[in-house]
Structure 1
């Protein structure tokens, strides 16, 4: 629905007879989010922040796998009490791993959303400042099928995001 309104606004501006010097900027947000320095730094920050927990989950999965393989391989020759204890241990371990994985996913998603929100706010601020400074009449950052290199300012936005944020 948003696309329709943007397209209609662009067409309306372009159809006005006295607007031969209308400046339109198109931003490929997918590229900005993938290639800009702040986006890359945020991804590295999140990876570092969650690396230890990810490794702990991997270690827990390996231990559960080893216990399961031991039960499958040697379960038939184990005394019933040992097999039952190991089965209970595996069940408890699996339940604990599932809980930890859920918590990890929730925490990671929360942090990812926080970083994304901060990035979007900064990107919008940079785009607004660029639009005002360079006298753009319309900035579009929706999914675009094609934009002429003449109006595609994605590289400028990526470059501007690499510069230090102005002090507030």
Structure 2
């Protein structure tokens, strides 16, 4: 009995001194300036292709409208040629849209992976500096606001981003 009490005493002492923190990862991923900057970078990168795709879609709408309106009055060869052109443009738009989605997904994953590593490193640095023994990420069933360190980590990420943006 004395041995059991002796062994449990150090464990109880360790647990009472343990510091635990909670981080809402979804909030960090939604609000971290690194993630926001990555999204904006992707928007700029893919905007020209998206604009071109939208222009092709408008052209297709106009061609279909013309076909429906004028096909009865066109000679058969001209109507068939317009129909083939409409079908070819439609296939091209679908192919380009699929390619754009695929490339955007790949680039988004790359940017998110880069941001994810930076966010994790910021959490680890914060925990070490604050002497926190354990950081629990979301989702959790419950975390007291007293142990929520999300705002402090988010501030750290904002400072890091501002320092990076200020560097040449």
Return the TM-score normalized by structure 2.
0.85
User: Which one has the largest radius of gyration?
Assistant: 2
RMSD, aligned α-carbons: 1.6
> What is the aligned counterpart of 1:17 among 12, 19, 25?
12
* Cα displacement (A) at 1:68: 0.8
* Cα displacement (A) at 1:142: 2.9
> What is the aligned counterpart of 1:54 among 44, 50, 71?
50
| Paired residue total | 152
Give 4+ residue runs of structure 1 displaced > 2 Å after superposition.
164-167
- Distance in 2 of aligned mates of 1:103 and 1:110: 11
Give the alignment of 1:24-63 within 5 angstroms.
Answer: 24-63=20-59
Q: Which residue of 2 aligns with 1:5?
A: none
Give the alignment of 1:1-168 within 5 angstroms.
Answer: 17-18=12-13, 19-164=15-160
* 1:28–1:144 contact (8 Å) kept in structure 2: no
Q: Which residue of 2 aligns with 1:12?
A: none
Q: Which residue of 1 aligns with 2:5?
A: none
Give 1 or 2: higher helix fraction: 2
* Cα displacement (A) at 1:48: 0.6
Q: Which runs of 5+ in 1 are unaligned?
A: 1-15
* 2:26–2:138 contact (8 Å) kept in structure 1: no
Return the TM-score normalized by structure 1.
0.85
* Cα displacement (A) at 1:29: 1.0
